[in-house]
Structure 1
Amino acid sequence: MRNGDDLEGFDGEASSTSMISGTSSPYQPTTEPVSQRRGLGGLRCDLDYLRGTFGKIKLAEVVLALIAFICIETIMECSPCEGLYFFEFVSCSALVVTGVLLLMFSLNLHTRIPQINWNLTDLVNTGLSTFFFFIASVVLAALNHKTGAEIAAVVRILTSLYMTHLLLN
């Protein structure tokens, strides 16, 4: 066991009295304090994007794709169902992909992956969605039974074309 003489410490070792009292401790903090992160890694909703023109258009695209999907899902019977299934696939795909892009832009997640040209990705998504909605609407219009839900789903193409026109101009 150590006696009082041993409390002075060895060469390179701090004495136990200074460690306990802390008045003349040679140990100082060497790292900077860690900042507290809020939420999931500092995610914040970018309200400026959502209030801007592109945010409003992207939100409208998501809502219109959801409306088109709901309209097509309310149809209970069909005899040639291929047009219905294709329109259902296009509207669901547009809803999911455009919704993910809306989240990416509104939460500023696109800045964390700078290798992707997000504006080009958004433009290609909008163009492809418009093209496939146009094809699906033509097929559905040619094969429909003139129900209200089918007509509402076909009218969705006009809004998609208008949105593309707004984005390009």
Structure 2
Amino acid sequence: MRNTEESEGFDGEASNTSMISGASSPYQPTTEPVQSRSVLGGIRWDMEYLRSYFGILKMVEVLLSLFGFVCIETIKMCSPCGGVYFFEFVSCSAFVITGFLFLIFSLNLHIKVPHVNWSLTDLVNTATSTVFFFLSSLVLVCINHNTEAEIASAVFGFLATGVFGINTFLAVRRWRLGNGCQAAAQSSEYMRARTASRGEMEARPELG
């Protein structure tokens, strides 16, 4: 009987100890449902970028490129068609590439892929789109047949040229400021290291 009571006492103490240790253990089973865990966790809209000059310009560029592409697609007959095909290619390419970059910056995906120089990529795209939109719109004006679709396409093309040009100017200025700040930081680090090494040399006792 005593052995039985002792065993029951040990079992009770063991169960109490396990309950206490389980309550105080940091490795508690999570109650979070599996469905709430998103694969795209951490990806959200960057409202600060969307309200900035670059975000607004990027949205306007995407819309103007889309409007120009839709207008040029409504042309049924053309002769010659070189200017129409050229503008169609430029507007479609600008819409796809600029829209892709807009999503990259709006969702902060450029932070997750740091080995790509996204600022330089955006600068090259805006500068190239400025030049090609101007050329394609100018060619379309020179060989158009005064149809409403051609006129509307040319108007959207020149508007896109202006917006892309402003974006290019701001991107170049930001790129120069970034390089200037980086060079200043490197120079400051160099001078700080040089001053520290000079101080160590002065603090060393001279050999007699």
Band the TM-score falls in, shorter-chain normalisation: 0.7 to 0.9
Q: Is the 8 A contact 2:64 2:157 kept in 1?
A: no
The aligned runs of 1:7-156 (5 Å cut-off) are: 18=14, 22-23=18-19, 28=25, 37-38=37-38, 40-156=40-156
Q: Distance in 2 between matches of 1:85 and 1:20?
A: 81
Q: Percent identity?
A: 49
Determine the C-alpha separation between the residues in 1 that align with 2:16 and 2:69: 70
Bigger helix fraction = 2
Deviation at 1:121, TM superposition (A): 1.0
Cα gap change, 1:45 to 1:39, in 2 (>3 Å): farther
Shift of 1:139: 2.2
* Alpha-carbon spacing, 1:20–1:83, altered in 2? closer, same or farther (3 Å): farther
Match of 2:69, as an amino acid?
F
Q: What one-letter code is carried by the residue in structure 2 that aligns with 1:158?
A: F
- CA shift at 1:142, angstroms? 2.4
CA pair 102-113 structure 1, distance change in 2 beyond 3 A: same
| Equivalent-residue separation in structure 1 for 2:28 and 2:95 (angstroms) | 47
Partners of 1:45 and 1:18 in 2: CA distance:
52
1:70 Cα offset (Å): 0.8
Aligned-partner residue type, residue 134 of structure 1: F
CA distance in 2, matches of 1:43, 1:101: 15
TM-score (normalised: structure 2) = 0.64
Structure 1 residue runs of 5 or longer lacking an equivalent are 8-14
Which amino acid in 2 is paired with 1:114?
Answer: P
Tell me if the contact between 1:66 and 1:95 (Cα under 8 Å) persists in the aligned partners. Answer: yes
Q: Distance in 1 between matches of 2:60 and 2:146?
A: 26
What is the number of residues matched between the two proteins?
158
Question: One-letter code of the match for 1:89?
Answer: F
Kindly indicate whether the alpha-carbon contact (under 8 Å) linking 2:129 and 2:161 is maintained by their aligned counterparts in 1. no
- Tell me the CA shift for residue 32 of structure 1: 10
| Cα deviation 1:89-124 (Å, max 9, x = unaligned) | 111110000000000010000111111221111111
User: Which has the larger Rg?
Assistant: 2
User: Is the Cα–Cα contact under 8 Å of residues 90 and 129 in structure 1 kept in the other structure?
Assistant: yes
Q: Aligned equivalents of 1:71 and 1:19: distance in 2?
A: 77
Q: What letter corresponds to residue 70 of structure 1 in structure 2?
A: V
What is the TM-score with the length of structure 1 in the denominator?
Answer: 0.77
Q: Structure 2: state its 5+ residue gaps.
A: 171-208
**AA of the residue aligned to 2:19:** T
Cα shift at 1:80: 1.5
* CA distance in 2: counterparts of 1:49 and 1:111, whole angstroms: 13
1:155 partner letter: V
Deviations 1:37-96 (CA, angstroms, capped at 9, x unpaired): 556232100111111111000000000001100110111111222221121111111000
Q: Distance in 1 between matches of 2:117 and 2:95?
A: 21
2: distance between equivalents of 1:31 and 1:113?
34
Q: Secondary structure at the match of 2:59?
A: helix
